[in-house]
Amino acid sequence: MTEPMLIAVVPAAGVGKRMQAHCPKQYLTFLGKTVLEHTVERLLAHPQITRVIIALGADDEYFPQLPLAHNPQVSTVVGGKERVDSVLAGIKSINVNEFSWVLVHDAARPCVSHDDISKLISNCFSTQIGGLLATPVRDTMKRSQTNNRLNRVQDLVRCTEPRENLWHALTPQMYQVNELISAIDNALKKELTITDESSAIELANLPSQLIEASSDNIKITRPDDLALAEFIVMKQQQ
């Protein structure tokens, strides 16, 4: 049985303050394209993703200048102050009669592989349980505490956390549209913190599976990450 085609939502309304750049990080360029273009084009190149909805900032002046703005497979919505607000705006614009499942993917993750996307899709469809790409924690994990010594604020080690059963959450994260809308709406009404789609599903006491993915799927957050993303994309193309 052929698996249905899918739609993806890409929240891209953030300003990326940690990048210390002249523009939001999704509009920084490498290899001749913006981060957002690399990300969206990679999603659309996957054989099961037919459309992408991008949630933009209300005053976004960069997107209309991109060729992406004229792609018939791309539509946009106005995002919100927080990532969850942008995601919710995007998934609420989906016609559930056409797409019952959605992939949510960070704009700043241009290196996700098609193999990992396919593995996520296949697992979610075969089990009918949503899930997310993730990588197991390999490093020793330290929990900090802040101390003020000699008028100098320092982060000191409070304890070492066991890394067993700990994972780094990545994207895409894939869930049924109506299930995800309900989970986010209910969590927001209760003023609960939602850091990603999986956290909303957890708060709704619904199952969510972890699909191990490649560590190439980095998120561009700091200036050095842009050069690393360029290296990874060039390596993947080879």
For residue 16, the model assigns a pLDDT of 58
User: What is residue 145's predicted lDDT score, i.e. its pLDDT?
Assistant: 87
Q: How far apart are CA 120 and CA 118, in angstroms?
A: 5
CA distance to 25, 104, 161, 179, 199, per residue, from 52 (Å): 19, 10, 38, 19, 22
Residue-level pLDDT at 18:
57
What pLDDT score was predicted for residue 238?
86
**What is the pLDDT, as a whole number, of residue 5?**
92
Average pLDDT, integer, range 68-97: 97
All domains in the chain, ordered by first residue: 6-134+169-237 (3.90.550.10)
**Contact of 178 with 101, CB cutoff 8 Å:** no
Q: Which of 20-34, 185-199, 209-223 has the lowest mean pLDDT?
A: 20-34
- Asked if 142 contacts 163 with a C-beta cutoff of 8 angstroms, the reply is no
Mean pLDDT of 66-73: 97
| Among 209, 187, 219, 213, residue whose Cα is nearest residue 200 | 187
Average pLDDT over residues 19-30: 82
Confidence of residue 118 (pLDDT cuts 50, 70, 90): very high
Q: Mean of the pLDDT values across residues 141-158?
A: 80
- Report the pLDDT value the prediction gives residue 209, as an integer from 0 to 100: 97
Say how far residue 150 (Cα) sits from the centre of its chain.
Answer: 41
Contact 55, 89 (CB under 8 A): yes
Segment 196-205 mean pLDDT: 98
Give the burial string for 83-104 (b: 16+ CB within 10 Å, else e).
Answer: bbbbbbbbbeebeeeebebbbb
Question: Would you state the pLDDT for residue 19?
Answer: 56
How many Å is the Cα radius of gyration of the chain? 18
